[in-house]
Amino acid sequence: MESAWTHSLLSLVSLEVGSNDYSVFGTPGVKTDRALYRKPALPVRPRAGGKFLDPVFGTEIMRATDESDGGAPGLGTYYSHWPTFNADNTKILIRKGVNGEAILKDFDAVNFQLGATHTLPTLPDGTSVAWQGAIWSNTDPNIIYCHPGWNGANYPDSGMKLYRYDVRVRTSAGYKLIKDLGSLAPRQPDFLGQMYMSADDDTFCWLHFRISGGNGIVWGYTVYRRSTNMMLDVPNTFVGGIDEVHIDRTGRYLEIKLNQNQADGSRTRIFDLQTKVMQVLMVNAQDKPTGHGDNGYGTMVGFDAWAAGIHVRKYNDIHHPKVQFVFSTSNGTLDWTLDFHLSMNATDQNWATVGTYYNPGSTTLPHSGVFSDEIFQVALDGSGRFRRLCHTRSAIDNLTATTGYWAVPKPNISKDGRFIAYTSNWEKSGRYDLFIAKVDPPVPTPMRAPSTAPATTRRRRIS
């Protein structure tokens, strides 16, 4: 039986998997090596607004929600694409419960403090809002873009509407209709879902849902550009249907991800809204369609299923993604057990923010533990640099409401790169909550030669 002394010693030691080297954590701080930093005992979890230091990486972290904001299962982020922070870090948008609710909290970025909590009203016609997919304006900190949420077949006229909500109003009068897209679905109780938006608040895209048998099914996808009043509505013609549609931050490139491989061996389409050219990514070792990731300016950054890593794909050169990071120890031992979400929400596009978790369905795959249940940042300049910032203290087994998908960290970063919001269930505490890590943005350093990824033929499911 492990003694208390031995357990205490192990909590201070880092073991590099595949080697005989041990290293003491030393002073807590951002790590830039590939050692396995074991999670120490849980720090005391504060109430909402309370703070603590990550005992390994030294990052200051605030718990942003607790039981006073809502009961179990809890509160957290929506996704790594959809921003928690508004443009000037004075408000945060937080997912609440299981019924699509959300709350706003005032946020004092200077003093790293929470302010008042605000509820969010329904639309003027009484219809609920799909806060999952709502996006803060990139220029006006008081504006959120949104659309009606799932409402069965009971929309007053159509769910195909884009609104902006002024958070200063705090009533239904704060909503302004930007565009009614109902003409794209005459006589149908259709609705929009999973909205994405360009960085100039001009181009929007959605999945287009249609009611069938009492449920919403993906009918196709919709694109709208405010500056030209362009509307594009495309029905699904793909075997297995459409999974997601994303617009890059320039508003030029549309990425259409499918649910399954097509007969020609493809699974992703890239449509250039400027040239009207559609390109196809094949599921092979050259094209390597991107898994979980996020769009940058003319780029897609995400999981490389052939390298156990993260690559950057330029939309003007889609067939040559470049690997930027590999999930491995320093001696080349790969880890295929980590799923992750990635955020490119920061104005500085030279770094991607990543939040990992151990995938409970990966028990037969090689596992080192390095980078597990962490938030870190990856340089996208080919240098191979990374910055390890904190442990998320979230444990996922997909067995309960508080240990499944909504407890996954799904971090997103503020525009100025100083704050990272993420979800944690505090290692199966019985609920999950929103946490905010306060970080120093990366300082540019001279490029180093990129490390070589170990050769491998193993790949993981594209999702």
Condensed to tens digits (0 to 9), the pLDDT of residues 270-310 reads: 999 999 999 999 999 999 999 999 999 999 999 999 999 99
303 Cβ contact list (under 8 Å, min separation 6)? 290, 291, 292, 293, 309, 310, 340, 342, 460
Residue 128 lies in a domain: yes
Same domain, 155 and 272: yes
- Domain limits for position 448: 13-112+294-463
The pLDDT score that the predictor gives to residue 100 is: 84
Same domain, 254 and 326: no
**One-letter amino acid identity for 215?**
N
**pLDDT, tens only, 200-246:** 999 999 999 998 777 789 999 999 999 999 999 999 999 999 999 99
Residue 55 lies in a domain: yes
Nearest in space to 55 (alpha carbons), one of 116, 89, 11, 104: 11
Residue 187 lies in a domain: yes
Max avg pLDDT among 11-25, 161-175, 352-366:
161-175
Q: Assess contact for 444 and 381: CB atoms under 8 A.
A: no
Around Cβ 18, how many Cβ atoms within 10 Å?
A: 15
Same domain, 154 and 90: no
Same domain, 334 and 451: yes
Same domain, 431 and 343: yes
Global pTM reads: 0.90
What does the alpha-carbon distance between residue 362 and residue 343 come to, in Å, rounded to a whole number? Answer: 23
Nearest-10 Cα torsion for 274, 280, 284, 286: -40
* Angle (CA) 349 353 354, round 5°: 145
Which among 262, 283, 304 is the end of a domain?
A: 283
Q: How many domains does the chain have?
A: 2
Same domain, 97 and 137: no
What does the alpha-carbon distance between residue 324 and residue 449 come to, in Å, rounded to a whole number? Answer: 11
Q: Is the pLDDT of residue 247 over 70?
A: yes
Nearest-10 Cα torsion for 72, 101, 346, 255: 110
